[in-house]
């Protein structure tokens, strides 16, 4: 998709909101775990070695931002990835980080 130039203010706001959604390390860790499949709050809390309250807080933000889906099975709520584009965004950022690390490594080895 070709972006308009300049970006309309409304689009800038939507883009900013998307990046803010990913600005918490715990949210990235949650999304990373959900790549493997649906998880409950308790399951995520155990895997991520944090409290259920902390996981719930971040899942609420991710759900509100459209990043994750949820479904109830009995008394348990399971969360999954709702927006695959966020995973693609994370992949692009990881590629950029890897490239930067490689550049810095070359600079260090030259000196």
* Domain boundaries of the chain, sorted by first residue: 13-82
Identify the CATH assignment for 13-82 out of 1.10.10.10, 3.40.50.300, 3.30.2130.10, 1.10.3430.10.
Answer: 1.10.10.10
CA 93, 94, 97, 99 torsion: positive or negative? negative
Dist. CA 67–CA 30, nearest whole Å? 11
Contacts of 24 by beta carbon, 8 Å cutoff, 6+ apart:
58, 61
3-state secondary structure 11-52: HHHHHHHHHHHCCCHHHHHHHHHHCCCCEEHHHHHHHHCCCH
> 51 and 45 in contact (C-beta within 8 Å)?
yes
pTM, full prediction: 0.86
Per-residue pLDDT of the chain (111 residues; tens, 9 = 90+): 788 899 999 999 999 999 999 999 999 999 999 999 999 999 999 999 999 999 999 999 999 999 999 999 999 999 999 999 998 888 998 899 999 999 988 888 886
């Amino acid at each position: 998709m070709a972006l308009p130039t300049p970006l309309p203010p409304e689009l800038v706001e939507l883009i900013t909101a998307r990046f803010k959604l990913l600005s918490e390390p715990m949210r990235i860790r949650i999304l990373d775990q959900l790549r493997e499949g649906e998880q409950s709050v308790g399951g995520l809390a155990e895997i991520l070695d944090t409290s259920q309250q902390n996981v719930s807080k971040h899942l609420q933000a991710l759900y509100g931002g459209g990043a994750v889906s949820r479904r109830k099975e009995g008394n348990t709520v399971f969360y999954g990835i709702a927006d695959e584009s966020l995973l693609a965004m994370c992949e692009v950022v990881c590629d950029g980080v890897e490239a930067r690390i490689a550049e810095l490594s070359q600079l260090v080895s030259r000196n």
